[in-house]
Structure 1
């Protein structure tokens, strides 16, 4: 795949991104840009990004030692091109500088000070290209935006979840340890913020001709998601605590049992409460003073929630879907197999078959939830083999003579 092959694909076509990131957060941010048509060039160290070895591998798939990749890498590095550059060598640093001179964006997620130690700081690279948007994603942010006691601490998803506040509001209301959110939101949220910040900075370049340093911290991003705990403590002195499967001010609103699993219900107001209780066969609850309003239902949740749970538990998820679907905010709790069998996700392009080189069957990835009518994005290309596009990239940046010119 060459840059020319991507022409006409996505709203970000023509945006050239140098991607130095590894693990999950950084690659997910650049994946979001690549899904919308940016030419994301993944610059890997000798031997390739180590997350390539993280499975699962489909039968027959090209192994890591031969430049292949497992599903983890394949998911967040689709639509990208790969080149190996040794940034610890002088030749590699000069290659990167030459590429920076022609790029729009550079993204890295090393610990603070690593790029400075290589002689590749934002300031030095911006001197070569004042239009450069240099984006950094770190556990606790970059000291340029404010040094904290944790600036140089390493951080992974559970650390960001713990210190950003989300773990402290997740779990059983009474007893039990704080609960980690299943997906790596400590990585994925800052990635989303970073991709937004990059596009905002690139828009500003169009108006001013000047790039800038973009800094997103994993912990800050998680706190931004938990914004309610900040204003509740500031405005009412309420310290955060686990919310369980309910909602602190809406009732009934949360997870309820079914015969064969669980379902989610949201009945936040009388517009839904009255038809809901009639569907339950409990018209008497319409006039019950304990259920007269959401405020009353929340106040008497010890009465309301067990009553709703006892009714839902009598029915399967499918039966509840037939009774409530389209009428009351409702959804069954789905597991992966359910999602693969549900027609919604394939029709929305959320289950995308891709190639895992060497494998005899496709690897299905989660697609993009962003749909644009004129410049659609999506998964157009599998993740790259190590150094797969080196020749084309070096030619495009004028780092080696064009093979077409020498033919």
Structure 2
């Protein structure tokens, strides 16, 4: 089972917000022992990123939903690394650590002897992960940055949103911090590769993971489209730049996503719609032709889809093998029978907070052992009652 794949691996987590904690939560979910280092008074910034908060009845303890989403399975040790005693504590923990993850500005930890080269001298097997906005070198290496900045700077927002000429046109960010989350996933992959490499080399590594690098890479086909064509991608709302029809359409009583990925699927859609002429029309017979004539095709489908209810369309689509999808609220997501079957909603019991709801890591099977809850600030600092070495 993958939930024990990293058993015996010790991770020292000096990261905050989302990208770093998302990485270290993945490592905890895979069985690593993760010790989260937090400032004794402030803790991770996201502890205050609410509402909403999960509150413990009869106590002053609470956890923000944001903090809960990326900090399960960790121990929290309160240490102020800016003091000599605190820095010494971090160094002593680093001696036994396999992995250290930090996301401070370049040079910050060096002032306290906690940079890669200082800790490598103490522990040559240490895999040291630095997550920053712009990387460890270059003209902007000393600048901070948040996900939102890189959604814009990396190009994502330039083609996300409604096209010019439509009401509400303009650049648009995604609904979650997609650059942070993807950075956390890249960092996770890099850590696993470094552990594999260390098994043969015997030495650790310094992993330089930059949000800007990830944001540029995240453009995927849009970036490739530009490199091949030389044309900047344009905002296209819910439409796909390379497939058609591949967007949201209104039915008689709601919306659905029509996701046609090839010409055979389009022909089946036309059969269901009673418009086989569309599949035979040279303007729409191939995907390339449909992209070139998308405005005309969209006009036809915008008139056609509202002639039936969503259930009428989707039942026929399922029977014919036409790809489609609903647009769910969070309530509908967690009530969906497939989501429930896959046990994506889970919960962990915390001795103070009680039941903490969370989402299963998709890398783990539904039958994996139960997840451990996120920690209270400093919950596992030795001076606190109930200190233990594992969550």
Instruction: State if a TM-score over 0.5 links the two structures.
Output: yes
Find 1:254's aligned residue among 238, 247, 259.
Answer: 247
Q: Deviations over 1:340-397 (max 9, x none)?
A: 221111211221233466557x443222111359xx7576111011222233998869
Moved more, 347-356 or 161-170: 347-356
Separation of aligned partners in 2, 1:318 and 1:119: 63
Indicate the residue corresponding to 1:280 in structure 2.
Answer: 273
Contact 1:367 1:378 in 2 (8 A): no
CA, structure 1 residues 380+287, in 2 after alignment: closer, same or farther (shift >3 Å)?
same
Separation of aligned partners in 2, 1:321 and 1:383: 40
The reply on whether 1:107 has 2:101 as its aligned counterpart is: yes
Separation of aligned partners in 2, 1:261 and 1:112: 50
Indicate the residue corresponding to 2:298 in structure 1.
Answer: 305
Indicate the residue corresponding to 1:328 in structure 2.
Answer: 322
Superposed counterparts of 1:90-105, under 5 Å: 90-105=84-99
Superposed counterparts of 1:1-80, under 5 Å: 9-47=3-41, 48-55=43-50, 56-58=52-54, 60=56, 68-80=62-74
Indicate the residue corresponding to 2:153 in structure 1.
Answer: 163
Indicate the residue corresponding to 2:127 in structure 1.
Answer: 133
The reply on whether 1:224 has 2:214 as its aligned counterpart is: no
Separation of aligned partners in 2, 1:393 and 1:163: 46
Find 1:121's aligned residue among 97, 115, 132.
Answer: 115
1:170 is displaced (CA, Å) by: 0.4
Contact 1:21 1:110 in 2 (8 A): yes
Separation of aligned partners in 2, 1:313 and 1:293: 24
SS at match of 2:371: coil
Moved more, 264-273 or 30-39: 264-273
1:331 is displaced (CA, Å) by: 0.5
Find 1:366's aligned residue among 349, 359, 383.
Answer: 359
Q: Deviations over 1:298-323 (max 9, x none)?
A: 22222222222323233444333322
Find 1:341's aligned residue among 332, 335, 343.
Answer: 335
Q: How many residues align?
A: 382
Contact 1:15 1:39 in 2 (8 A): yes
1:80 is displaced (CA, Å) by: 0.8
Indicate the residue corresponding to 1:350 in structure 2.
Answer: 344
Separation of aligned partners in 1, 2:346 and 2:388: 32
Separation of aligned partners in 1, 2:333 and 2:223: 35
Separation of aligned partners in 2, 1:115 and 1:260: 57
Separation of aligned partners in 2, 1:8 and 1:394: 27
Unaligned runs of 5+ in 1: 1-6, 398-407
Separation of aligned partners in 1, 2:36 and 2:386: 11
Report the TM-score, using the length of structure 1 for normalisation.
0.87
1:8 is displaced (CA, Å) by: 9.2
